[in-house]
């Protein structure tokens, strides 16, 4: 049973560029959440997708946007990258009605 997968594993971008990160949820899961984790900090909630719609959003600017596809996979897009966007981006999946979220390995983004 495949767990949560994310791609790419690492990414280097320059300020002002745009980036797309991808996530495939654990088998049987229909809900995807995205988190940003700065070095030495706990993950911060960005947003959650269910039935291809954004259900809840954390305190992140509109530069952060997402999408969920009919097969439940998801993308996170970040526009106009800033140095402060450098972080580990984590995807977590769960099923609607469940409580526990399972995390993928993350994508390490470095903005230069």
Partner 1 sequence: EDQVTQSPEALRLQEGESSSLNCSYTVSGLRGLFWYRQDPGKGPEFLFTLYSAGEEKEKERLKATLTKKESFLHITAPKPEDSATYLCAATLIQGAQKLVFGQGTRLTINP
Note the residues at the interface with partner 1 (CB under 8 A). Answer: 4, 6, 31, 33, 35, 40-45, 48, 50, 55-56, 58, 88, 90, 92, 94, 98-106, 108
Smallest separation, CB 112 to partner 1 (Å):
19
CB nearer to partner 1: pick between 4 and 19: 4
DSSP string computed for 11-66: EEE-TT--EEEEEEPPTT--EEEEEEE-TTS--EEEEEEETTEEEEE-S--TTEEE
CB nearer to partner 1: pick between 78 and 89: 89
CB nearer to partner 1: pick between 39 and 62: 39
Residues 34 and 16: their CA atoms lie apart, in Å, by 21
């Amino acid at each position: 049973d495949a767990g949560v997968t994310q791609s790419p594993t690492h990414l280097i971008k320059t300020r002002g560029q745009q980036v797309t990160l991808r996530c495939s949820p654990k088998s049987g899961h229909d809900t995807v959440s995205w988190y940003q984790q700065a070095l030495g900090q706990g993950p911060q909630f960005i947003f959650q997708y269910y039935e291809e719609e954004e259900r809840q959003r954390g305190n992140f600017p509109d530069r952060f946007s997402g999408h969920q596809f009919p097969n439940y996979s998801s993308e996170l897009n970040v526009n106009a990258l800033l140095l402060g966007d450098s972080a580990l981006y984590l995807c977590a999946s769960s099923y609607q009605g469940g409580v526990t979220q399972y995390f993928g390995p993350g994508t390490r983004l470095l903005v230069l």
